[in-house]
Structure formats: structure tokens, C-alpha cells
Structure 1
Amino acid sequence: RGAWQLGRILKQQGDITGAIAAYQGAFEHLQSLRSDLVAVNPDVQFNFTESVEPVYRELVSLLLQPTLTKGQAEEASQANLKQAREVIEALQLAELDNFFRDACLDTKPVILDEIDTQAAVIYPIILQDSLGDSFASRLEVILSLPNQPLRHYGTQLPKQKVENVLQQLYSSLYPGYSSQQRLRLAEQVYDWLIRPAEADLANSGIQTIVFVPDGFLRNLPIAALYDGKQYLIEKYSIALSPGLQLFPQGLEREELSVLTAGLTKARQGFAELPAVEEEVKEIASEVNSQILLNQDFTRTAFEKQINGIPFPIVHLATHGQFSSNPEETFLLTWDERIGVKDFDVLFEKRRLGILKPIELLVLSACQTAAGDKRATLGLAGFALRSGARSTMASLWSVHDESTADLMSEFYRQLTQTNPPMTKAEALRQAQLTLLRDVKYNHPYFWASFVLVGNWL
């Protein structure tokens, strides 16, 4: 805390170099205390958003500021951009540690160029700057392209403007909202995140954009951003990542088989999901499937299957909720709820390498908790606790045959072998199929599905 306070004082005095050094000391101290911070008794748990998060954000803000050299403003150096990226990834990890209340996530820094030379990574971060007695928002973006220096661009906006526009865009994704207003908001966010990088993305032959989203951006379907003529998904495959440090290595292409479990009937106060039966049939028509439906989908039966035949894909078509509170993050089985922390036990043999890890976990009828700005931490939690290399999930529940159509097309694309298709591209093609269908061309039907983790 002493180094953090010193950094703030030096920043106010205009000593940016000294402030960065002080903040780096505070940051390194927090990193060394990572496991201790989350081991504190929850009753006296530090307030993460007040005591820890500001150190990361304020350091990134300093690192991304233009520097004055001989009176000339110069863009942030490559060294500063690299450190800012490292701090953004560390913040993502810290948020997940705080969510789980333990520092259990194994990290291995990876180099994008060694994973996919046709993927770009975009790191947006929302910062608050003090300007006299008022505050302003800055939406800063670091762009990582294969075999190229990092790039950086940002937008200065009035306080709350970023948050307000993002929340309005989220609301506009429901049918009944003005399409003209929705497209205007989607283009506004596109202008902030993508427009400054358009030429670089095109010139670098990029096919997949991986977002490491911050704040409320996590709740938004990036696929539905709009450039004035077309949606982003019409140009690129899209994936989300809670940080490339969590990218699991290796991906085996094998004959696909799916363990599919779901509920069609109303259970435990949750409504029936009649379209799930069609969804399960559609999947079985495309891929070799083992099915647990309704009464057969108990926790015990599910656990037995998970620890038995090593299915590369697990598809759960059941009610579930993602929340920033792990106690309110769960999936529904016929007889009980599976909490996010239960995933540790259920998938332990997969995570430890005793059984093959899951290539893809699909959660097709879940939704984010209403009014919870950090709800998608729960989604990332399921993804990481299962040890799955990729997780595909819905940001909101679309109770409609459109989900069955999208899933059928997704698996049809995924089973192609000549040439093999990446998961991100398979999802893109499935979303485009719905977008081109006059019944389902509204983003409400196709944009809710996001791919988290390994996009290959």
C-alpha cells in the first residue's frame, strides 16, 4: 500500500517515470502475495475492487500514457506496451483468483506467433482518469499481431460514457428494440475497438480475432459489432480468452464423439426447455453421441460417464446461470444443481491428465445473472474448472429452435476433415447460417454464443 500511495503522489507531481517505478513495486508485491490474498478468511476478505484492482488499472494507465521527449509527445514504448499487456493479463487472473477464493490457476506464458499466425489478440481496458475535480473514461486497446510490434490506440470519453453505451448495446440486443438504434450503438463500440485496427488486421491476413475483454465488455457479444455495412462475424472468426497465459497447449484432432446431457422438462422451479429434444437429436445426427436426457441426467449418471469413456466433447443443454458469485453459478441436473466448484471434483481426472482432457465443453441454455456486470466470471469459472480446452456458451438463454439449428450446423462444420475447421470458424459458419435466415437474422438468435479458450 505504501508503494501504491507513493506512486499516486509522484503521478500528481508529474513524475511519471517515478510513479511507474512505485506502481511496479506495488504490482510485484501483489503478484508475490497472490495465494495469500485469496486465502484470507472471507469474513475479513479485502475489498478486491477497492484495494487490489486499482493498482493494476492505474499502472496500465501510466504505462499507456504518451511520454514527453524533448518537448515532443511520443507513443508508449514497446517495453511499456509489453508490460501493460502483462498487467492486463495479471488483472484477469487476479479477478478469477478472487472469484474462486484460491490461486489455483496454472499459468504458462505463451507466444501468439507459435499458436496461430492468422490470429490477432485485442486487449481492451477501461480506465478512469482524474481531470481536476472531474473524471474521464479512457478505453485503451493494445493490439497484438503475429510477428509484429504491439500497437496501441485509445479513446477519451466523458465519465460513464463507455459503461452507458455498453449497457445500452446489451439492452438493444433483444427483439423489440429499435434496429436502427442497435446498429448505431454497435457501430459506436466498433469504432472504439476495431476501426483503428482495420488496416492492420487486413494487411496481416488475420482470420481470427481473440478478445481478452475487460469489465462489461465481457457480457457483450463481440460478433454483433457493426462497421456500418456488416457485422464483425461476417469478416472474422471470434474467440474470447481470460488471458493467453491460461491457453492450454496442444490440440488433438480425432474422431469426434459427444456426451450430450439435457433437460426438456421443468425442474426445480425452472421452465421446460422443449427445444432441447430437437437439439439433442440434431447433434446425434451429426456426431456419434451418448445421451442423458431428463431422468437419465442425474449428477451420479453424469459423473459416471465423465469418468468413463473419454468423450472429447461434453454438451450440456440445461438451465444454468453464470454469476460473479460462485455460490450462484450452477448447472441444473434432474435431481440437483452442480456448482462451479463441483466441477473440480467432477472433472478432476481430466484436469490431472489421468483421462484425456475435454476438447470442448458446450453450455447451450445458460444465461448470465441479470444485473451482474461481472457475471461472465462464472462462465470463465466453468471453463477453467472443467479443464476443457475450449468452452462454448450462451450469454443469454435463447429458448427457441434457432439454438437447435445453430448447434446442428456447428457440429456439421466441426466434423469436416478436408480441410479441418477450427472451432472458432465452425461457430462463425453456424452463426452466419442463422444470420442469413430471415427468421433468425436478429443478433438475439445468433450472437449469444461465445467461444472461450482455445479457438483452434
Structure 2
Amino acid sequence: RQALEMDKRLLGQEHPDVATSLNNLAFLYQSQGRYAEAEPLYRQALEMRKRLLGQEHPDVATSLNNLAFLYQSQGQITRAIEFFSQGLAIEEGNLDTIIATGSERQKQDYMNTLSGTTYAAISFHLQTAPNNPQAAKLALTTLLRRKGRILDAVTDNLRTLRQNLTPENQQLLDDLTDTRSQLAALIFNKPEDLPVDQYKQQVSQLKGKANQLEAQLARTSSQFRTQTAPVTIETVQQLIPSDAALVEIVVYQPYDAKTDTFGEPHYAAYILNSTGNPQWVDLGETKPINQAVQAFKTALSNGTNQVQTTGRNLDQLLMQPIRAKLGNTQKLLLSPDGQLNLIPFAALVDENNQYLVQNYHITYLTTGRDLIRLTASSDSKNPPLIVADPDYDNPGQTRTATRSSNSRSTDIANLQFSDLPGTAAEAEAIQQLLPQATILTETEATENTIKQTPSPNILHIATHGFFLEDVEQVAPTPVNSSLTASNNRGLIVVRPRPGSSPRPQNTENPLLRSGLAMAGFNRKESGTEDGVLTALELASLNLYGTKLVVLSACETGVGSVNNGEGVYGLRRALAIAGSESQVMSLWNVSDEGTKDLMTQYYQRLQRGEGRSEALRQVQLGMLQSSKYSHPYYWSAFIPSGEWRPMDN
């Protein structure tokens, strides 16, 4: 109360800080259960913020959300949904502005401020109103809009889009970016000396200009229209095949509006078919599920006989409750979260002791929002490109080009890789099936060539992959330079220092810690590049029109996992670059086994089988063989993105 009166005396009755003091006093009353006293103060703060800051300011969203939590605490579900919907809508609009214009740090920081309301929306449905259809739709809409957005944000995902626009549209996009930047500066850093009326007028004018530019671009560019279209349940639902289901898994922390506290993290799943309302299931705390994940991963990657036992244990916690909601649906568009990004669901074991691959057709997505991206199909600009068996010790032979600004993790400097002779045989076998393909091996297997070959029909890279776990930029984790990968397409993973935080505050961009080793990698010299093709560089490639990317290397599907964000690594980078589908690995794969798998996979693709189903059929064949029946061999590779047949 003293702060409120002081704000009024020093700043005047109509000032944003006065609204903040009103809001804080209301929160105090709410925390004491004095709801009747809290409500009018929250409403005063809301109206003052609307007057002073405009209808769509982040502080207005905060006031709306606080009123929603107040009504939630009193069991007034309908009113809570009304205010929560308004608050989340404002946050979404501001998120679009920041993601399109802000610096990498601004984007990450703003996304972090929204995690609380993301959890709150899911908790409101699952914990407070599990039988309310509107609460379910609000939670799922929020999930579809926000899951995976940070990685979209930290990558300049407009750069590749700009490459595919006409010169006229490129200018429109530049004008839009500039307008959004001015708008973001006004909204998030209001000038103190700018009168309220002028402030609101400038915001309104900039929003009007941005809307006009967006409309012009949307009319003339299908890719821009797809990338910027509002995400709704109905939009996603229309893109789900009639015989399939989207399974959107999320990690969330249950939020208690009465005590303003978050509980232990849970896994939950939303199931969406092409028609009907979404279904859901809370799978319980993440800790026991993650422990089962670790046991399953260990059994898989080590090829032990515990794989069926651990696969059954994890299935019982994870997929069995989801199957109860699926009915007869066997085609799954699966969007995992958290540690579930790092396992092949196809190798889980059901109650009949069968692997899920035997009864389910599984395709992976980072988020159901990917279905919208897949509608913007483009034509390939080049024939298939196969890059294999790089000469890691010698500088690559490349065309003349300007050296790119290739920043990368400092720890990569110490990595060394040995040759992979099996990848050369793999490339030869694939060339027999794709005679029109360009094959590059040894010193020609360079990152320059990949960067200078836009939109190949297929991009197949057979080499070593790497992923370095979190390191603090101020004190990088030391690496033993004597570590060298073996001939199983091995990968070196740098672990955090003992006793360090698993998620340091100041971490390096994960897309700089994941990548592929190309010609000249061991010398960090390759033509105009350094032989290190990071995930950040991959995300900047122009792969619009590329129907399939196969990374025939170790652990190319893994990366830094953040709840709600998928895998920060090669998998998401390739999707952002524009490729329709990806096939990647989850652990160190055998050189010979991979060659056999890839050869059979391309044979099936040539026969017109779907990109995911072709891989499944190869896996089923390996499962029946005496040599490759263990899931270690057949389940390492997973398909993501577009699942339907390629246009041959």
C-alpha cells in the first residue's frame, strides 16, 4: 500500500507503475484467499494498462491471465477460460513479433517468460477442468502454437524463405521485418517521455502497416502464407489422414493457481484424429518414465538381451495408456517431448510381447504444427546428391566460393575421426538405384558442395555425426584430443563436468554443438570452409524442394533436449531448412548393417512405397532375419516429416 501511494504521488494517478502496484496488491489478497478484495484491484490494473499501453501489451496479457487464475482458484471455470483465452491470444501476437525481429537472446528470453502460462494452460485442463471441452481446446491450441518455437526462433528461418521469393516480395519481407522491429521496440521498451496518445497512435500505425505487408506477401507467396498462418486445432486436424492420429506428447509442470506453485514435471499426451474432439491422458511424473527410458536406451544401444524387458516396462508406462485412446488407429504421427525424443517407439513391446513396429506405422514430428509446413510443397532444383566416405585428413576440393561465417563450438576443434570405408560401398549401391544422382566421396565430399547445391531431390550424407552436450561459454568443457571414433560411424559425446548443472545458465547455441564431419574435418580446413557442417549451417541451407534427407551416420537424430522444444540438433535443423522428410539415427550404428538397410530402403522408395512405410518394411524384414533381428540393428533409424511416397 505504501508503494501504491508513493507511485501515485511521484508518478501521477495514470502511470503503468501504479497499475503494477494495484496488480501486486491484488495478488497478495488472492494468495490469502481474499478473492472479493483481489478482483476489483486486478480489474483496475487491467483497465489502466489498456488505457496507457494499448490493448495488446504484454502487461495487459498478464492482467488477463491473473484474473483467469483468480477465477480458477474459485472454481469459476467459464470465466477463467474467457480471460485466459484473451491473455494467451495477446501473448501469441507478441511472440510472433519478437520471433520475427528480435535478437537470438531476446527471442529466447521472451519464450522463457511464456513457459509459465504454457504449463498453466495445460494444467488448467488436465488438473482443474479435465472434462471441459473448451479447456481441452485451449490447452492443445497453446501446445500446438508453442511447442518447438524456440528453435524456430534462434534460427534465421526467414533467410531461406527470402531465397525463394521474387525480388519484389523480398523487398516486402524486408519492409515487414523493419516494421516489426520498430513495433517490438515500442511495445517492449516504451519511451518514458512519449505521451500516451502518441504512443498508442504509433503502435496502431505500425500494426496496421505490418498487417498490410503480411497480407500482400500472403497473397503472392504460398511459402510465406504457410509459414505465418495462425495455428488452430481445426487447421491441423484437416491435415491428419482419416486413418491416422496425431499423438502430441508434452512435458508440463502442474500449476496450482491457489498457491501459485508448480509441481513435479509430468508427461501428458493429446490425441487428435481427423474428426472429433481431442482426447488426452496424463501419464504421470516424468521421473519414473525417464528412468525407464534410460534403461531401454542402454539395452538398445548395447544390443543386450534386456531389450524386450525394458521395452515392455516403458511401454506400460507410456504407450499402453495412449493405445487405450487410439481405438483401431494404427498410423501414428508422433510428436515426442523431453527424453522421449531419444528413443525409437517402434522397438517398444506391447502386452502381447510384440514390437510396436509389427502393428503400428509411426512417423515422427517435432510438433503437430509441422503438418502445416508440409503443405508448402516445392520443386527440386537439382538431382539427388550423395556424399559419402569423406577424407577427413585432407582439405576438400571445392568450387570457388566466399568463406561463410562458420562459428562453431570451441570443443569441436579437438575432435578427430577415422575413415568409414563402408560408406563408399553404400554410396555405390545407392547409385545403382539412383543413376541420375551426383556422387561425391573422399576429398570431394565437402560442405562447400552441399551448401552450393540448393534443393537436391534427395540429400544422402554418409559420414560421422557428432553432438556435444551443454557447455558453458565462459569455461568450455575440456576434451581429450586423443579420442577417436571407431569404424562403426561412431560419435564422440562430451558430457558435462561432474557436479555441474545439467542446464547451465549461459549455454552455447545447441545448433553449434551438433553436426556432420566432412572432408578436411581433422585439419579443420576444407576449401573455403573448415570441414565442420554444423546444425546451424544445415538450418540455413535451401532445401525447399528436397523430398528426403538421409543422414546415414551415428546419432544424427539426437541433440540437446529441452521440454517443449524437441531435439535441438540436426533433426530440427533440416526441417527448418525446408526438407520434406528426414531419416536419422539414434545411436552408433554398424557400418555393414547400415549399408544393407539403406540399400533396401531405396529399393522400396523406387517401387513407390511411402517414405515411412518403406523404412518400416525394411525393419520388419530385418526383424525376421537371423543376422539383424535385434532392435539394435533395425530400430536405430527413425523417419520424420512427410511420410507419403516421393514423386519419382
Does the pair score TM above 0.5?
yes
CA distance in 2, matches of 1:423, 1:20: 41
Q: Tell me which residue corresponds to 2:552.
A: 364
Matches within 5 A, 1:224-239: 224-228=347-351, 229-239=353-363
Report the residue type matching 2:629 in the other structure. Answer: N
1:56 aligns with 2:251: no
Matches within 5 A, 1:201-216: 201=326, 203=328, 206-216=329-339
Change (3 A) 1:101 1:382: closer
1:343 aligns with 2:490: no
Matches within 5 A, 1:429-440: 429-440=617-628
1:384 aligns with 2:578: no
CA distance in 2, matches of 1:54, 1:113: 29
- Unmatched tracts of structure 2, length 5 or more: 1-58, 162-226, 394-414, 469-508, 520-525
Report the residue type matching 1:27 in the other structure. Answer: L
1:95 aligns with 2:150: yes
Q: CA deviation at 1:240?
A: 0.9
1:24 aligns with 2:169: no
CA distance in 2, matches of 1:438, 1:56: 48
Q: CA deviation at 1:65?
A: 3.6
Task: Check conservation: 1:65, 1:76, Cα contact below 8 A.
Answer: no
Change (3 A) 1:7 1:78: closer
Change (3 A) 1:359 1:446: same
CA distance in 2, matches of 1:156, 1:223: 22
Which among 302, 314, 318 is matched to residue 463 of structure 2? 318
Q: Tell me which residue corresponds to 1:263.
A: 389
Q: Tell me which residue corresponds to 2:514.
A: 329
Q: Tell me which residue corresponds to 2:639.
A: 451
Three-state SS of the structure 2 residue aligned to 1:391 is: strand
Three-state SS of the structure 1 residue aligned to 2:582 is: strand
Change (3 A) 1:32 1:370: closer
CA distance in 1, matches of 2:98, 2:314: 35
Report the residue type matching 2:385 in the other structure. Answer: L
Matches within 5 A, 1:92-171: 92-100=147-155, 106-108=227-229, 109=231, 110-114=235-239, 116-129=241-254, 135-157=263-285, 160-171=287-298
Specify the structure having the higher radius of gyration (Cα): 2
My pick for the range that moved more, 99-108 or 375-384, is: 99-108
CA distance in 2, matches of 1:58, 1:155: 17
Q: CA deviation at 1:176?
A: 5.4
How large is the Cα RMSD of the aligned pairs? 3.4
Q: CA deviation at 1:272?
A: 2.2
Output one character per residue of 1:52-75: Cα deviation in whole Å (capped at 9) or x when no partner: 2232122112123463xxxxxxx4
CA distance in 2, matches of 1:6, 1:320: 49
Output one character per residue of 1:218-274: Cα deviation in whole Å (capped at 9) or x when no partner: 1221211210311111112211112233331276999x9631102354456123222
Report the residue type matching 1:341 in the other structure. Answer: L
Change (3 A) 1:225 1:107: farther
Q: CA deviation at 1:422?
A: 0.9
Structure having the higher helix fraction is 2
Task: Check conservation: 2:335, 2:367, Cα contact below 8 A.
Answer: yes
My pick for the range that moved more, 294-303 or 368-377, is: 368-377
CA distance in 1, matches of 2:627, 2:71: 58
Q: Tell me which residue corresponds to 2:438.
A: 290
Three-state SS of the structure 2 residue aligned to 1:358 is: coil
Q: Tell me which residue corresponds to 1:243.
A: 367
Change (3 A) 1:119 1:96: same
Q: CA deviation at 1:402?
A: 0.9
My pick for the range that moved more, 367-376 or 282-291, is: 367-376
Task: Check conservation: 1:138, 1:154, Cα contact below 8 A.
Answer: yes
CA distance in 1, matches of 2:340, 2:385: 31
Task: Check conservation: 1:53, 1:91, Cα contact below 8 A.
Answer: no
Change (3 A) 1:369 1:221: closer
Change (3 A) 1:402 1:90: same
Three-state SS of the structure 1 residue aligned to 2:618 is: helix
Report the residue type matching 1:53 in the other structure. Answer: S
1:81 aligns with 2:136: yes
Output one character per residue of 1:160-198: Cα deviation in whole Å (capped at 9) or x when no partner: 223333333333322255x33x43432233234432454
Change (3 A) 1:134 1:271: same
1:274 aligns with 2:336: no
1:302 aligns with 2:364: no
Which among 570, 595, 603 is matched to residue 404 of structure 1? 595
Three-state SS of the structure 1 residue aligned to 2:568 is: helix
My pick for the range that moved more, 233-242 or 38-47, is: 38-47
CA distance in 1, matches of 2:643, 2:599: 19
Task: Check conservation: 1:97, 1:103, Cα contact below 8 A.
Answer: no
Q: CA deviation at 1:287?
A: 2.6
Change (3 A) 1:422 1:266: same
Report the residue type matching 2:434 in the other structure. Answer: V
CA distance in 1, matches of 2:339, 2:110: 17
My pick for the range that moved more, 227-236 or 38-47, is: 38-47
Change (3 A) 1:383 1:134: closer
Three-state SS of the structure 2 residue aligned to 1:226 is: coil
Change (3 A) 1:64 1:246: same
CA distance in 1, matches of 2:296, 2:71: 38
- Unmatched tracts of structure 1, length 5 or more: 68-74, 352-356
Task: Check conservation: 1:119, 1:210, Cα contact below 8 A.
Answer: yes
Output one character per residue of 1:342-371: Cα deviation in whole Å (capped at 9) or x when no partner: 335541xx53xxxxx011111110425988
Percent identical among aligned pairs is 24
My pick for the range that moved more, 4-13 or 265-274, is: 4-13
Change (3 A) 1:369 1:226: closer
Task: Check conservation: 2:547, 2:581, Cα contact below 8 A.
Answer: yes
CA distance in 2, matches of 1:13, 1:61: 16
Change (3 A) 1:32 1:115: same
CA distance in 2, matches of 1:201, 1:48: 36
Using the size of structure 1 for normalisation, the TM-score is 0.82
Task: Check conservation: 2:514, 2:534, Cα contact below 8 A.
Answer: yes
Q: Tell me which residue corresponds to 1:185.
A: 310
Change (3 A) 1:43 1:86: closer
CA distance in 1, matches of 2:278, 2:81: 20
CA distance in 1, matches of 2:621, 2:97: 48
Output one character per residue of 1:405-433: Cα deviation in whole Å (capped at 9) or x when no partner: 111111111111xxx31111001012222
Change (3 A) 1:436 1:95: farther
My pick for the range that moved more, 264-273 or 393-402, is: 264-273
Change (3 A) 1:208 1:373: same
